Structure 1
Amino acid sequence: MPLGLIDKQILWNRLIAVVEEQAQTLQRTAFSTIVRESGDLAAGVFDVRGRMLAQAVTGTPGHINSMALAVGHVLERYPAEAMRPGDVFIHNDPWMGTGHTNDFSVTTPCFRDGKLVAIFACNSHLMDIGGVPRMSGSIDVFMEGLYLPILRIVEAGVVNETLMELIRANTRLPVETEGDVYSLIACNDVGCERLVETMAEFGIDDLGPVADHIIDTSRAAVLANIRALPKGTWSSTLTLDGFDGPLALKAALTISDGGIHVDYAGSAGMVKQNFNVPLCYTIAYTSYALGCIVARDIPNNAGSLEPRTVAAPPGSVVNALKPAAVVARHLVGLMLPDLVFGCLRQAIPDRVPAEGAGVLWGINISGPRVSPPRHDDSFVVGIVTTGGMGALPLRDGLSATGFPSGVRGGPVEIYESMSTVIVWRKQYRQDSGGAGRQRGGLGQDIEIENGIPEPFELACSYERLIHPAAGFDGGLAGAPGVVARSDGKSLPGKGRFPIPPGIRLHIRSPGGGGIGDPRHRDPAAVAADLANELISPEAAHSLYGLATDRAAV
């Protein structure tokens, strides 16, 4: 019996439930802290043609929207007719995956009664896959650790032990890395199991009609939203800190009845350092930024993504070519939404936020576990910290929020339990949100010290130390980020630096920009910020004009 419209809608929602369980399996079984605690992952289901039908709510745009492209690459290498029950494919090619080698992608064909009915995919960040330990030290992708092309890691249900041994041999954390690979495999297995159960429940053996309904309906909904927008072309520029000097990004955004197109012509060329961005990652965050405007209530799938298109000159920093160094591609890639919003702000200013902190401030450290050190007893651990989101036209920006990545900040208790460090302070950074009628979100103030009399090393890749998040329409910029030691020594935002015993590391993440004249902010909101110590008495008086006697409360 043909499926009716209600049946297709129910199956659509059921697919979202299936992939969410798939993602939760990955998060709960992962060894990597950034996956287990912060959700740096993606999971989704595809039809047999490689079209993404549903993605889990758990996950990040950079992983999800690049995963939407990755399955097509797997099918080019291993066509559907060559796949067998029990096969699993793995790779971490930055240009076919999520943009850098630390993210492993796993693809699993799903069979029902011997027939291929769907494909499940997932990816996640692995803490160590070899390569140079200095985060900013690589100058080509071959220095950035193990590089796997698209390979079968499981063939007809049998694990390729040679490949697994190769993976174990190319990491400083062999147990954790192997565990993460099995976590990815299990994630897809759970998704396939639930899908087969769902198809049996509904008595169907082909997802084709449901797939077409999902994709066609989503595409039409996005196009309807686009057609309601002003038509034209708008341009924007954004200056990043860069490494040896500022890095300029440019975009031109065109809205037409047929879709939205973003062209990054004029952006800086590839750089020697490792924050070049493969095109798949550029597409991922550009599509996400556009989706915030035109697809907020529309599921993310191949249909809703199709009207959003991207172009970038080959050899530019946002379309880096192999073998460019790309391990820190997030430094540029996560800033692209602010650049896109800079274009959209000219067309629809009442729907676009001010600039935000953008890039995640991961505190990645390594060192010996004991004193005196032993060569076979060390740790490598990372915790995600975040800055402030830019203000929105009708509300304040969120504080300590990983926008646009969606990666959550990790609990310091886990961080401490896996290393020797002590986190002495982790709190909102007062006055870091850009003042405005709507205030920018606040960054964080964090202090870390080693708990044993040995140094530890900080590997950092940070932005917004020199060029803070801008405010708009009279709003002020957010506070720039700061990296420093308690002995008064300032550290640059990129590199690997020893922190001696007895010295505290100070991390102060940047705030988001404000919108509107601060003097027009609701006095009650200013008073509440003051009472909650989000702003200082001095800022309340000098920036917001709160009466002196109230500012002294």
Structure 2
Amino acid sequence: MTANRPTGNRTALDQIHMQIQWNRLLSVVEEQAQTLVRTAFSTSAREAGDISAGVFDTQGRMLAQAVTGTPGHVNAMAASVGFFLETFPIATMAEGDVFITNDPWKGTGHLNDFTVVTPTFLDGRPVGLFACTSHVVDVGGRGFGPDGRQVYEEGINVPIMRLASRGTVDEGLMGVIRVNVRNPVEVEGDIYSLMACNEVGGRRLVDMMREFGLADLDELGRHIIESSRAGMLEEIRKLPKGTWKNAMRIDGFEKELDLVGTLTVTDDGIDVDFAGTSGPSSFGINVPLTYTQAYASFGVRCVIGGAVPNNAGSLGAVRVTAPEGTILNALHPAAVAGRHVIGQMLPDVVLGCLNQVIPDRVPAEGTSCLWNPVLLGGPGIADGDYGKSRPFAMNTFHAGGTGARPGKDGLNATAFPSGVRNTPVEVNETIAPLIFWKKEYRTDSGGPGAHRGGLGQVMEISHADGAPFAMNCMFDRVIHPPRGRNGGHDGTAGKLQLASGPLFKGKGRQTIPAGDRIIISMPGGGGLGDPAARDRAQLAVDVRDGFVSPEQAKAVYGWDAAAGAGDD
């Protein structure tokens, strides 16, 4: 085919060729992402898949993203490449150059996420950029937690800079990172994994371009972006036009917070604005705008244009704003380590707006924010004598239940909207001196409804040597549970409690005393529809499997498990 045929002169065969190339590009970025997962050192990337990967044109527009990855990383990374190009224009880049940052306002929202960008060259000319992001286990400072008052306390901040020049890694930068983190081997290993995955993506892109005789990605990029934007707008134009508003009250840190969203549908796209949302927190749960935009736009994409590929074209049809100085557009130097606790609530806020437009297509609220206990041990970390036990810092990924879905129950112990996987306890126990005594579904935690909310889970953890240890808590839905929709009941709120009895707060570093255990009970998702309409055969299965107790079945659903009949 002709590599640069004008758009208006494309033949049917050209269209087929470009669709094949587009599909090939998707396979390139998926191999890029899988390289990162396979080579990563930290469990967050290797086990949980807390990463992103994508390919961009030389203008910084995302052409394709890997399926493997999280919306917060992917959609924020889509914006971050533009910041890299502002600092290092494409004309200044050379083969073998690699660039890096973990700047929360130019990356994915907090210091634990490193974004790496690598240019790809064909016959000496830059033809594209590969970018990837991964959450690393530690960046120094207070450790991954919400207790900081400014970003300066939260760890090392690497501005957009060169990580490698013409193939030579900046050992000075790597040395500075190593001496500022608690897990230098894992963090350095993850940075090399980020470089490796972009390199693999670049090789595969060059192979593809040579195979198809492409001198650049200009025409293919235009086709991808134009087709995706048109596809997204086609789906949006099927919706009623107007403005809808939704508010959600959540736990916050020092006080409860209101997230207020206004969604407007026009023929030109969807606008989401968060005016009316609470102001910033004094602690590390503030959200940079890029992360707000990432998850709010994902909330739209969950039910509108889900079949349209995610790239600059489809993302451009959804515009997200938040006033400066609100918790969803926190300005430097606000503390932002726990930005995911608030940011991952935004799809539920957006879906609450869309429920007023298309109530038959929207799920109930779920746990939404991850319930990731950050566990630490060592001298000075926790109150009490730590003795000779091995110091450690571990971030383990876990989740409560999702909201019930139209026509289906919610998912049990499943991370939505982030999509990361639970970390196996066997892996956790190999990298830290901890014992996980329990990990099981939490009975009755899913909100009752015609379709039941997904169940949360219960974990019980102690120090293997009986020493004290600390937990950085970044949990929500402890005060305000996930709400049901359209007649469905709320899910059960989360709970943190020592085996000896005292309750923990949902946020902040707290100590598990020597010899004690922490019991983490995660929220369940909200129900959808009237519980009286739930299928009795499915309810019998719920009771049999322990998802619903006989008591709840009778009191809420009006079904006597012992008698096997309803009190209708």
Q: Quickly name the TM-score band, shorter chain normalised.
A: over 0.9
Which residue among 231, 234, 237 is the counterpart of 2:247?
A: 237
Q: Which residue identity does 2:482 align to in structure 1?
A: A
Counting only pairs closer than 5 Å after superposition, residues 8-407 of structure 1 correspond to structure 2 as 8-133=18-143, 135-368=145-378, 373-374=387-388, 377-407=390-420
Residue 541 (1) aligns with residue 551 (2): no
Question: 8 Å contact 1:478–1:514 — kept in the other structure?
Answer: yes
Question: 8 Å contact 2:459–2:521 — kept in the other structure?
Answer: yes
Which residue among 477, 499, 505 is the counterpart of 1:486?
A: 499
Partner Cα distance (1:138, 1:454) in 2: 25
Partner Cα distance (2:440, 2:144) in 1: 28
Question: Between the two proteins, what is the percent identity of the paired residues?
Answer: 52
Q: Which residue identity does 2:273 align to in structure 1?
A: D
Partner Cα distance (2:564, 2:167) in 1: 68
Which residue among 426, 430, 447 is the counterpart of 2:439?
A: 426
State the SS of the aligned residue for 2:559.
coil
Q: Which residue identity does 1:464 align to in structure 2?
A: R
Question: 8 Å contact 1:368–1:454 — kept in the other structure?
Answer: no
Alpha-carbon spacing, 1:186–1:548, altered in 2? closer, same or farther (3 Å):
closer
Question: 8 Å contact 2:550–2:560 — kept in the other structure?
Answer: no
Partner Cα distance (1:286, 1:52) in 2: 18
Question: 8 Å contact 1:537–1:551 — kept in the other structure?
Answer: no
Question: 8 Å contact 1:541–1:551 — kept in the other structure?
Answer: no
TM-score calculated relative to the size of structure 1: 0.98
Residue 456 (1) aligns with residue 457 (2): no
Once the 2 structures are TM-superposed, how far is the Cα of residue 394 of structure 1 from its aligned partner? 1.3
Partner Cα distance (1:347, 1:372) in 2: 56
Question: 8 Å contact 1:134–1:496 — kept in the other structure?
Answer: no
Once the 2 structures are TM-superposed, how far is the Cα of residue 372 of structure 1 from its aligned partner? 6.6
Once the 2 structures are TM-superposed, how far is the Cα of residue 526 of structure 1 from its aligned partner? 0.4
Q: Deviations over 1:188-227 (max 9, x none)?
A: 0010011111111112121111100000000000000000
Partner Cα distance (1:244, 1:219) in 2: 42
TM-score calculated relative to the size of structure 2: 0.95
Alpha-carbon spacing, 1:30–1:251, altered in 2? closer, same or farther (3 Å):
same
Partner Cα distance (2:229, 2:479) in 1: 40
Q: Which residue identity does 1:407 align to in structure 2?
A: V
Question: 8 Å contact 1:269–1:317 — kept in the other structure?
Answer: yes
Q: Deviations over 1:379-406 (max 9, x none)?
A: 1112111011111121111111100011
Alpha-carbon spacing, 1:341–1:372, altered in 2? closer, same or farther (3 Å):
closer
Residue 417 (1) aligns with residue 430 (2): yes
Partner Cα distance (1:81, 1:183) in 2: 26
State the SS of the aligned residue for 2:355.
helix
Partner Cα distance (1:549, 1:495) in 2: 44
Structure 1 runs (4+) greater than 4 angstroms displaced: none
Once the 2 structures are TM-superposed, how far is the Cα of residue 549 of structure 1 from its aligned partner? 2.5
Partner Cα distance (1:373, 1:525) in 2: 52
Q: Who is 2:520 aligned against?
A: 507
Once the 2 structures are TM-superposed, how far is the Cα of residue 543 of structure 1 from its aligned partner? 1.1
Partner Cα distance (2:32, 2:487) in 1: 45
State the SS of the aligned residue for 1:362.
coil
CA RMSD of aligned residues (A): 1.4
Once the 2 structures are TM-superposed, how far is the Cα of residue 368 of structure 1 from its aligned partner? 4.3
Partner Cα distance (2:464, 2:111) in 1: 32
Q: Deviations over 1:525-548 (max 9, x none)?
A: 101111111111111111111135
Q: Who is 2:540 aligned against?
A: 527
Q: Who is 2:9 aligned against?
A: none
Q: Which residue identity does 2:406 align to in structure 1?
A: P
Once the 2 structures are TM-superposed, how far is the Cα of residue 293 of structure 1 from its aligned partner? 1.6
Q: Which residue identity does 1:514 align to in structure 2?
A: G
Question: 8 Å contact 2:287–2:329 — kept in the other structure?
Answer: yes
Q: Deviations over 1:131-163 (max 9, x none)?
A: 113723201111110111110010011111111
Once the 2 structures are TM-superposed, how far is the Cα of residue 502 of structure 1 from its aligned partner? 2.5
Task: Structure 2: state its 5+ residue gaps.
Answer: 4-13, 380-384
Alpha-carbon spacing, 1:428–1:284, altered in 2? closer, same or farther (3 Å):
same
State the SS of the aligned residue for 1:484.
strand
State the SS of the aligned residue for 1:447.
strand
Q: Who is 1:437 aligned against?
A: 450
Partner Cα distance (1:145, 1:412) in 2: 27
Partner Cα distance (1:133, 1:42) in 2: 23
Partner Cα distance (1:429, 1:283) in 2: 33
State the SS of the aligned residue for 2:292.
helix
Partner Cα distance (1:319, 1:496) in 2: 25
